[in-house]
Structure 1
Amino acid sequence: MAHLLNGENLSLSFPTRTVLEGVTVGIDGGDRIGIVGRNGDGKSTLMKILAGRLQPDSGRVTSRSGTRIGMLDQADVLDPALTVGQAVVGNREEHEWAGDAKVRDVIGGLVADLDWNARVGELSGGQRRRTALAGLLTQDWDVLFLDEPTNHLDVEGIAWLAQHLNNRWPRNQGGLLVVTHDRWFLDEISTSTWEVHDRIVEPFEGGYAAYVLQRVERDRQAAVAEAKRQNLMKKELAWLRRGAPARTSKPKFRIDAANELIADVPPPRDTVELSRMAVSRLGKRVVDLEDVGVTYDGAAAGFSADDESVASTEPREVLRKITWRIGPGERTGILGRNGAGKSTLLHLVTGELEPTTGRVVRGKTVKVAVLTQQLRELDEVADDRVSDVIGRKKTSYVADGKEMTPGQLLERLGFTSAQLSTPVRELSGGQKRRLQLLLILLDEPNVLVLDEPTNDLDTDMLAAMEDLLDTWPGTLLVVSHDRYLLERITDQQYAVLNGGFRHLPGGVDEYLKLAAAADTGAAASNPLSADASSPTEAASTADDGPRLSGAQARAAQKEVGAVERRMEKLSGLIQDKHQEMADHDQSDFEGLGALTAELHALERENTELEERWLELSEQL
């Protein structure tokens, strides 16, 4: 493997703090590196230094002669006067770029829906972002730096990008560094992970899942080492203070002395947790959508649609004939392309929008709260201190059976004492997001709607939010392109496809197949607009094609039984493999890699069997 780029003894300080100190890292051909860490710890800063966009205070960055480096920054750097075509392929002649399979693949995966002659300045923020990414990927680079490349991409776009990056270079060639909060994407493309924290960069083998496993083991070993240190100090104190064996104060002295020893040792990380909150009582009826449809005229089109929609003077039918009965405690994820109508569907649920046809019936006890993509709820308190904003809600709260002040609650959510006195406007994007979520939950809603809740959150905070939502007892509706989050916190998924609403027994993978089939026009036996009052009702409305003969039905039923038995066996094997990995020597990366490969093989077989089971069940 050729060495591509190296950073030696890198340090960088800002006026208020030091971000990196004495960091040395390298990138070899074939490296696919995901960068994780808390917001503000220096992930993007490290990437900019390695890409040559930012000069360190000390240290140096060197690269192999002739190495071509490309970077997607979070900032919008496109010239608004350019057309989409010029931004993507530059001034190359059409026959030149059209004959390049890689360029055609990038255009098809990212900007196929955009007007080739539209000006960049006329595009939405998400469309500009996709155009910039396409312009970068159509060029040849030896090293690619991508800072949040999945922003503004839907589930299909993220899946396409992962496949493109995995196939972009031959084996052991090219280098890739990615900063992203999308953990599924990290697992798909990364062969190693760098964690940026406490001014250092700590490397881990494997993608996100392997990183989490190794980090847990690292923390366990640190806890064991700390326990040994404390035991040693206790023995030392006992030796210094030994006296009459029966002295009753001796055990108390040992405990007090040990506590004093560790009192000035700061925790390695902020504890980010929030206990389960109370919710208002929720009756049997939550929200029922009955045969609803929504059509926008030119004046309303801008309100409806999701991020990528553009107002039009022509009427447009966004949703049609949707029936959806939302039950108490239901946890549903909603998938769909940008502009498909997901946000419109949420507006119907929350009452912000009335349907053009059909009706929406809400339960009398329903109390809906919405975590929006924007942070407009915080605008009116931008000049207020964080503690004052929370203090206006209540003087005390009960969490986990304990009475807590607003300040204590905020500290448990990851805010330091100093940040409690900070004006809201000076908080980072992730801190504002946490405050926004806390304010919503303290109102004790019983229906929570999350519209792209992962924006501005790092992986640690995402894990903490998922842990919170796992125990939240109300009805949960989630729109997100983060499939890791969807699969973690929801029990079922639905898709908005071609104006209809369809249940997805196969989850995100089934949605991707349906969307691909819709693109190629090969979805005749899988209609995209089934009503979805329940998973059973949604499935019953689909046209499953010609009925099976008696012999075919018996054969299919027999195969279903065999598939179910094998899936049950695989479930046990997968559980055993996870335990084997947990018990394995965590410093044996080669052994862990082999176990991970075996686990992935079992999971792939299980996924294939699940798909076959679904196919047979539909036929039967």
Structure 2
Amino acid sequence: MAHILGAEALHLEVPTKTVFDSVTLGVDEGDRIGIVGRNGDGKSSLLMMLAGRREPDSGRVTYRGGTTIGVLDQADQFDDGETVGNAIVGDTPEYEWAGDPKVRDVIAGLVADLSWGAELESLSGGQRRRVALARLLVGDWDVLFLDEPTNHLDVEAVAWLAEHLKRRWPANQGALLVVTHDRWFLDEVCTATWEVHDRIVEPFEGGYAAYILQRVERDRQAAVIEQKRQNLARKELAWLRRGAPARTAKPKFRIDAANELIADVPEIRDKVSLQSMAVSRLGKEVVNILDVDVSYSDPATGEPREVLTDIEWRLAPGERTGILGVNGAGKSTLLGLISGAVEPTSGTVKTGKTVKVAQLTQRLDELEQHLNEPVRVVIGRLRTSFTVGSGSKAQELTPGQLLERMGFTSAQLSTPVKDLSGGQKRRLQLLLILLDQPNVLILDEPTNDLDTDMLAAMEDLLDSWPGTLIVVSHDRYFLERVTDQQYAILGGRLRHLPGGVDEYLKLRQAEERAKEAAVAGGGSAGAAGGVQASKAAQPAQPKLSGRELRDAQKELASVERKIERMQRDIKTGREGLATLDQGDYQLLNAEMAKITALEAEVDELELRWLELSELLG
């Protein structure tokens, strides 16, 4: 493949340390590279040097002649008074940008809900981030450098961005380098991973899952990496292999090697012990939300606006649930019902007598009163020990050991809280909450400012926490990793998602198509206005006759039976592969082809199941 850019002997120092020492790299046409590593190890510095935004102390970066480069910084900078439309398309006439399919796709995918003439100063951080992304992606670039592109994006926007980047260039053309802590995004988009550590850049094949596997293999062979980090990587791999079947089907993941590697790794959570401990701490009743409606007064009109409708949810002891929904859907209101901060307009919320709720918010309020105190003093004041694990695996940790487990060094224990990085403050905030021993824990966007290793450490800590866990997060990987089930707020109602995040995205796409169809039926109103209006109308619910209703119910039951039967056949087929002659490649390929065909048929049946479920409400 053709060479695009090269870096030779890059050396970079900051006042306290050497960041890179003689790093040599190359980027070719078709490369899709994810850059990972601990906070402070130089990921963003590397990206900006390769993009020409930062000069190395020595060494050089060269580009193929005529190469065009697009860069997304962590900070979204705009001119004063600039509007959404002007920021994205500038002075380009509407007939030009509205006639470009790529520009229309970017606008529809990222900013369709924003007013074209809104000033950027009036937007939230997440909205400004989407505008900055749209401004970059409407351009034509040979190479894109993206620094934390998924920050502040919701699950749908992250899924759209991943799909856009996968089809932005033809195969073996263009190049992408991205720094992100979003592990699902890395796995979905990237075909190579660079790990930045110890003043070097180490390349790996494949996305995040393949990188984890290779890193564990490297650690086992070298036997020089710390045991704690290795164990976390092994545990991460165990979840990738066992807990997410869709990932294991990807060719990037060498399944035989993974099976051998994790043969002796137990399940990530001892659910029986955790459930038993949760019941003993909570009793059988946690929080029961019964027939609840919540309305707020609209500040513009003074009229009541219904946020949540007919919510019925009985939280169980030890339940681990993720909540999905677009911004403004009512996620924070739902969390407020659980914590007691929000009173229902109608219905009742019953809280168990022994329930102690704690919430990790997006803000850092818990640290405000401790800003001038050393970390060791803040932690030591609360408790002298903390129990991790359950049953025979229970372990007592001191505050210092707990801090070390979450990535704090001995030197950092004497650091005042105000001098910690954003990621360190986030970890300390979680530890303060856990040391207070709540039995219902609400996490609202807990992954902000954390690198992939620290996210794995947080997940490891939560695996041994015995209580009811409610998580709201746009980090799809984290959400699927720490929760056992997901719900979505759609149209003000709470809906269970047996198919997880994939089902949620399909439901949202169906909802958007219905809205667009409703708008199209009522006439169109110009390019920009039409894009915004597609988000506004509510889909009309089809009315079924008695016979149609019965037919749909019968088909739904039939589809469910077929899915169950075919999943059993797939399981039997996979187990049967082990009994075949492993040297008979023709037979093995034929059996795998049968299994693959069954899996494809199950995918189609699941889509039909979703359509019927929507039809029946």
- What TM-score bracket applies, with the shorter chain setting the length? 0.7 to 0.9
Q: One-letter code of the match for 2:407? A: G
Q: Does the 8 Å contact 2:406/2:458 carry over to 1?
A: no
Q: One-letter code of the match for 2:498? A: P
The superposition leaves residues 247-278 of structure 1 with CA deviations (integer Å, 9 ceiling, x where unpaired) of xxxxxxxxxxxxxxxxxx98896987999998
**How far 1:213 sits from its partner (Å)?**
1.2
The superposition leaves residues 591-617 of structure 1 with CA deviations (integer Å, 9 ceiling, x where unpaired) of xxxxx9999998666544544566678
For structure 2, list consecutive stretches of 5 or more residues without a partner in the other structure: 236-267, 518-541, 583-591
The answer for the alignment partner of 1:466 in structure 2 is 459
The answer for the alignment partner of 1:538 in structure 2 is none
Matched, 1:563 2:582: no
**How far 1:563 sits from its partner (Å)?**
3.3
Q: One-letter code of the match for 2:164? A: H
Q: Does the 8 Å contact 1:271/1:413 carry over to 2?
A: no
- Name whichever of 556-565 and 498-507 sits farther off: 556-565
The superposition leaves residues 301-324 of structure 1 with CA deviations (integer Å, 9 ceiling, x where unpaired) of xxxxxxxxxx88664322222121
> Residues 133 and 432 (structure 1 numbering): CA distance in 2 closer, same or farther, change over 3 Å?
same
Q: Does the 8 Å contact 2:559/2:605 carry over to 1?
A: no
Paired residues, what number?
A: 539
> Residues 415 and 356 (structure 1 numbering): CA distance in 2 closer, same or farther, change over 3 Å?
same
The superposition leaves residues 339-387 of structure 1 with CA deviations (integer Å, 9 ceiling, x where unpaired) of 1111111011101111222221111111001111111211211111000
Q: Give the Cα separation in 1 of the matches to 2:594 and 2:420.
A: 44
The answer for the alignment partner of 1:111 in structure 2 is 111
The answer for the alignment partner of 2:415 in structure 1 is 422
Q: Give the Cα separation in 2 of the matches to 1:135 and 1:577.
A: 50
Out of 403, 415, 433, which is 2:426 matched to? 433
Q: Give the Cα separation in 2 of the matches to 1:10 and 1:77.
A: 28
The answer for the alignment partner of 2:141 in structure 1 is 141
- Aligned residue for 1:521, secondary structure, equals helix
Q: Give the Cα separation in 2 of the matches to 1:219 and 1:133.
A: 37
> Residues 77 and 13 (structure 1 numbering): CA distance in 2 closer, same or farther, change over 3 Å?
same
Q: Does the 8 Å contact 2:269/2:463 carry over to 1?
A: no
The answer for the alignment partner of 2:369 in structure 1 is 380
The answer for the alignment partner of 1:325 in structure 2 is 314
The answer for the alignment partner of 2:441 in structure 1 is 448
> Residues 171 and 398 (structure 1 numbering): CA distance in 2 closer, same or farther, change over 3 Å?
closer
Q: One-letter code of the match for 1:136? A: L
- Name whichever of 562-571 and 338-347 sits farther off: 562-571
> Residues 215 and 106 (structure 1 numbering): CA distance in 2 closer, same or farther, change over 3 Å?
same
Q: Does the 8 Å contact 1:286/1:327 carry over to 2?
A: yes
Q: Give the Cα separation in 2 of the matches to 1:608 and 1:426.
A: 53
Matched, 1:348 2:344: no
- Name whichever of 15-24 and 277-286 sits farther off: 277-286
The answer for the alignment partner of 1:10 in structure 2 is 10
**How far 1:129 sits from its partner (Å)?**
0.9
The superposition leaves residues 80-105 of structure 1 with CA deviations (integer Å, 9 ceiling, x where unpaired) of 31111000111100001000000000
- Aligned residue for 2:281, secondary structure, equals coil
Q: Give the Cα separation in 2 of the matches to 1:558 and 1:319.
A: 33
Q: One-letter code of the match for 2:53? A: R
> Residues 61 and 573 (structure 1 numbering): CA distance in 2 closer, same or farther, change over 3 Å?
farther
- Aligned residue for 2:318, secondary structure, equals coil
For structure 1, list consecutive stretches of 5 or more residues without a partner in the other structure: 227-264, 300-310, 525-541, 584-595
The answer for the alignment partner of 2:358 in structure 1 is 369
Q: Give the Cα separation in 2 of the matches to 1:466 and 1:577.
A: 34
Q: Give the Cα separation in 1 of the matches to 2:510 and 2:400.
A: 52
- Aligned residue for 2:486, secondary structure, equals strand
**How far 1:293 sits from its partner (Å)?**
1.9
The answer for the alignment partner of 2:190 in structure 1 is 190
Q: Does the 8 Å contact 1:544/1:618 carry over to 2?
A: no
> Residues 597 and 21 (structure 1 numbering): CA distance in 2 closer, same or farther, change over 3 Å?
farther
The answer for the alignment partner of 1:359 in structure 2 is 348
- Name whichever of 550-559 and 435-444 sits farther off: 550-559
TM-score between the two structures when normalised by the length of structure 2: 0.80
The answer for the alignment partner of 2:327 in structure 1 is 338
Q: Does the 8 Å contact 1:506/1:614 carry over to 2?
A: no
Note the 1:130-529 alignment, pairs <5 A: 130-223=130-223, 281-298=281-298, 315-399=304-388, 401-521=394-514
Q: Does the 8 Å contact 1:570/1:606 carry over to 2?
A: no
Q: Give the Cα separation in 1 of the matches to 2:10 and 2:376.
A: 37
The superposition leaves residues 63-91 of structure 1 with CA deviations (integer Å, 9 ceiling, x where unpaired) of 11111111111112112311110001111
Q: Does the 8 Å contact 2:387/2:395 carry over to 1?
A: yes
- Aligned residue for 1:281, secondary structure, equals helix
**How far 1:556 sits from its partner (Å)?**
7.1
Q: Does the 8 Å contact 2:570/2:595 carry over to 1?
A: no
Identity of aligned residues (%): 65
Radius of gyration: which is bigger? 1
The answer for the alignment partner of 2:35 in structure 1 is 35
Q: Does the 8 Å contact 1:10/1:57 carry over to 2?
A: yes
Q: Give the Cα separation in 2 of the matches to 1:127 and 1:266.
A: 41
Q: One-letter code of the match for 2:378? A: V
Q: Give the Cα separation in 2 of the matches to 1:486 and 1:269.
A: 21
Q: Give the Cα separation in 1 of the matches to 2:574 and 2:39.
A: 34
Matched, 1:102 2:102: yes
> Residues 212 and 325 (structure 1 numbering): CA distance in 2 closer, same or farther, change over 3 Å?
same
- Aligned residue for 1:358, secondary structure, equals strand
**How far 1:446 sits from its partner (Å)?**
0.7
Q: Does the 8 Å contact 1:577/1:599 carry over to 2?
A: no
**How far 1:160 sits from its partner (Å)?**
0.8
Q: One-letter code of the match for 1:175? A: A
Q: Give the Cα separation in 2 of the matches to 1:382 and 1:271.
A: 33
